[in-house]
């Protein structure tokens, strides 16, 4: 690996000014589970690496039913699933955090890094989309917010400008009678990149019978993580039954336009999109009715 | 070439200072600078777990941590878990259960097993397989490793002598990921 300069920032302003001064030649380091591999393999180059894990705001993880969840961009995955209250409230986020790599990866890897790496197959992004997360960015021009569905722009690309970092992810408070789930398909049991990933979020009526609101998003079927807007809208007002969820799965299969690569063909990915959409909707509905999240 | 960076950390309970380049991984520093050659390099990209060490009690792939990142941190390597002349009960069980052939993966498996049993003293087979999925073995076919972990769990929780080894107390403290209620 080519050598680089290493700096630790302790405030957001310090990180931003270090990064802004070097532009493209500077990279942010959180868990390093993407960045170190990319630098070592020559996929990316950097003259300066700015470690942001010492910035308190970026390591904050706080939850209250009233204000929702604030997830600092550098918080490693294990802190999410280790917190029983957060894993119960934001079960799809915990589903994602538990399957990003193995335990060694989860000790380091952050959800912020997963989002900023902006892979179309990233396991956390569909969950962030269905929770309608707000990304708080900080840059040389100050702070701004972006909806997570608008964050990724192309494989490995996103809306971050020169010197700009992701500071926190804001999850809205959990709605009554709502539930969510994330599943991915891989040929192994663990430790692989999603052939397809799906997240679903549902809000049901008080009886748990009719869908009031829905959001579905998929990974690895488009150049960026894909919100399935038409399917989500179609679900509203429908009964929360297996027939409805199967029909939504069929719609998802038709709605996606994936590519063929070494992980799967177009046909296979379309099929998986349907299956995973249906299954995550079933789990989301169960969770909305009060079933607690399974261990994983 | 940038100036070498001075880092202070605690390795296996001993305060240690070293100099390294920013680009050097913790694995390189451990093996090449500090002569802790127990952690192995398998893939050098986070997939095999042969380089697993505990960083502040958590298992990490030392090939994916920079040496400069461990300033102020506590690291435990395979060299640090035996007590004087006695193997750690996990080491003893891997040996007695023949849970290794070439042995390249073994230090990593033992460190992950230690982290697992520290946080979840009585894991199910499913939990063991899930938690150790970041460690690969090309030789054993895993079954003997799983058995060694199960036997280690028994040895540790009984706190008994096994093969002349006194079970040590678990130290790293964190809630097990599979038991969110145990917190
Ligand atoms: C063995 C292995 C298995 C993996 N398995 C999975 C998997 O199953 N699913 C999956 O989705 N991913 C997987 N990954 C990829 C990786 O672990 C995740 O994407 C992880 O979430 C990245 O987080 P990080 O904190 O390590 O990011 P880093 O590597 O530190 O950063 C990633 C990128 O984002 C930038 N960045 C990070 N944080 C910020 C910020 N706050 N502001 C601006 N830019 C930022 C960095 O500069 C870098 O370009 C795996 C990786 C490995 C090595
Ligand atoms: S050498 Fe570090 S994970 Fe393989
Ligand atoms: S014993 Fe050879 S890799 Fe595991």
Residue A271: give its domain's CATH number: 3.30.390.50
pLDDT digit string (tens) for A14-30?
A: 999 999 999 999 999 99
- Pick out chain B residues at pLDDT < 50: 160-183
Cβ-contact A227, A149 below 8 angstroms: yes
Interface confidence, given as ipTM, is 0.93
Total number of domains in chain A: 3
Q: What is the DSSP letter of B12?
A: T
pLDDT in tens, B62-101: 999 999 999 999 999 999 999 888 999 999 999 999 999 9
Ligand 3 pocket (Cβ < 6 Å) reads B 100-105, 137-140
- Measured between CA atoms, the residue of chain A closest to residue B3 is A5
Q: Is B137 in the pocket of ligand 2 (CB under 6 A)?
A: no
Instruction: Give the list of residues 6+ apart from residue A158 with CB closer than 8 angstroms, or none.
Output: A115, A116, A118, A151, A152
Residue A288 CA to residue A282 CA, distance in Å, equals: 10
Q: What mean pLDDT value characterizes chain A?
A: 95
Q: How far is A8 from chain B (nearest CA, A)?
A: 9
Would you give the distance in Å from CA B64 to the centre of its chain? 15
Residue the block writes with tokens 């706080």: A62
Cα dihedral sign for A285, A286, A291, A294?
negative
Closest Cβ–Cβ partner in B58, B61, B69 for A51: B69
> What pTM, to 2 d.p., does this model score?
0.93
Angle between helices B89-96 and B143-158 (to 10 degrees): 140
The domain B5-80 belongs to what CATH superfamily? Beta-grasp domain (3.10.20.30)
* Contacts by residues A203-207 (CB-CB < 8 Å, ≥ 24 positions apart): A203/A175, A203/A176, A203/A177, A203/A178, A203/A288, A204/A177, A204/A178, A204/A240, A204/A285, A204/A288, A204/A289, A205/A177, A206/A176, A206/A177
Are A231 and A277 within 8 A, CB to CB? yes
Q: Which residues of chain B lie closer than 8 angstroms to A107, CB-CB?
A: 55, 58-60
In a domain, A295, yes or no: no
pLDDT, position B113: 98
Instruction: Write the pLDDT tens digit of every residue in A182-224.
Output: 999 998 887 788 999 999 999 999 999 999 999 999 999 999 9
Placement of tokens 């929780």 in the chain: B157
- pLDDT of the residue at B2: 61
Q: Candidates 1.10.150.120, 2.60.200.20, 3.40.50.740, 1.10.340.30; correct CATH number of B89-164?
A: 1.10.150.120
């Amino acid at each position: 690996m080519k050598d680089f300069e290493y700096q630790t920032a302790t405030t957001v302003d310090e990180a931003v000014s270090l990064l802004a001064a070097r532009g493209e030649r500077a990279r942010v380091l959180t868990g390093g589970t993407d960045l170190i591999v990319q630098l070592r393999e020559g996929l990316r180059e950097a003259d300066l690496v700015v470690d942001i894990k010492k910035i308190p705001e970026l390591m904050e993880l706080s939850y209250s039913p009233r204000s929702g969840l604030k997830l600092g961009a550098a918080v490693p995955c294990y802190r999410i699933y280790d917190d029983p209250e957060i894993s119960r409230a934001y079960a799809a986020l915990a589903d994602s955090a538990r399957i990003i790599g193995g335990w060694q990866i989860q000790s380091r890897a952050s959800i912020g890094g997963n989002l900023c790496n902006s892979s179309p197959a990233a396991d956390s992004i569909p969950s962030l989309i269905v929770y309608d997360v707000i990304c708080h960015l900080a840059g040389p021009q100050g702070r701004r917010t972006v909806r997570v569905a608008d964050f990724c722009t192309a494989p490995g690309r996103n809306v971050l400008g020169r010197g700009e970092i992701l500071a926190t992810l804001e999850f809205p408070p959990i709605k009554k009678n709502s539930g969510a789930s994330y599943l991915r398909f891989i040929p192994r049991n663990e430790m692989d990149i999603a052939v397809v990933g799906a997240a679903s979020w549902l809000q049901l009526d008080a009886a748990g019978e009719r869908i009031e609101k829905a959001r579905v998003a998929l990974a690895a079927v488009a150049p960026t993580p894909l919100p399935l807007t038409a399917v989500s809208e179609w679900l509203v007002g429908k009964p929360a039954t297996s027939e409805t969820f199967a029909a939504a799965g069929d719609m998802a299969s038709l709605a996606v336009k994936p590519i063929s690569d070494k992980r799967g063909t177009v046909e296979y990915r379309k099929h998986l999109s349907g299956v995973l959409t249906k299954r995550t909707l079933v789990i989301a509905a169960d969770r909305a009715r009060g079933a607690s999240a399974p261990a994983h | 070439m940038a100036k070498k960076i001075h880092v202070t950390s605690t390795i296996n309970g001993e305060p240690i200072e070293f100099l390294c380049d920013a680009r050097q991984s913790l694995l390189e520093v451990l093996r090449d600078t500090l002569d802790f050659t127990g952690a192995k390099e398998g893939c050098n990209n986070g997939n095999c777990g042969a380089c697993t060490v505990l960083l502040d009690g958590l298992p990490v792939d030392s090939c994916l941590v920079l040496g400069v990142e461990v300033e102020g941190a506590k690291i435990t390597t395979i060299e640090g878990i035996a007590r004087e002349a006695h193997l750690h009960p996990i080491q003893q069980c891997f040996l007695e259960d023949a849970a290794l052939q070439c042995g390249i993966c073994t230090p990593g498996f033992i460190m992950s097993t230690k982290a697992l049993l520290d946080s979840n003293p009585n894991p199910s087979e499913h939990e063991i397989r899930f938690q150790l999925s970041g460690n690969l073995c090309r030789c054993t076919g895993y079954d003997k490793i799983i058995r060694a972990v199960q036997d280690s769990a028994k040895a540790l929780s009984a706190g008994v002598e096994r093969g002349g080894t006194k079970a040590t107390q678990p130290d790293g403290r964190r809630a097990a990921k599979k038991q969110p209620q145990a917190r």
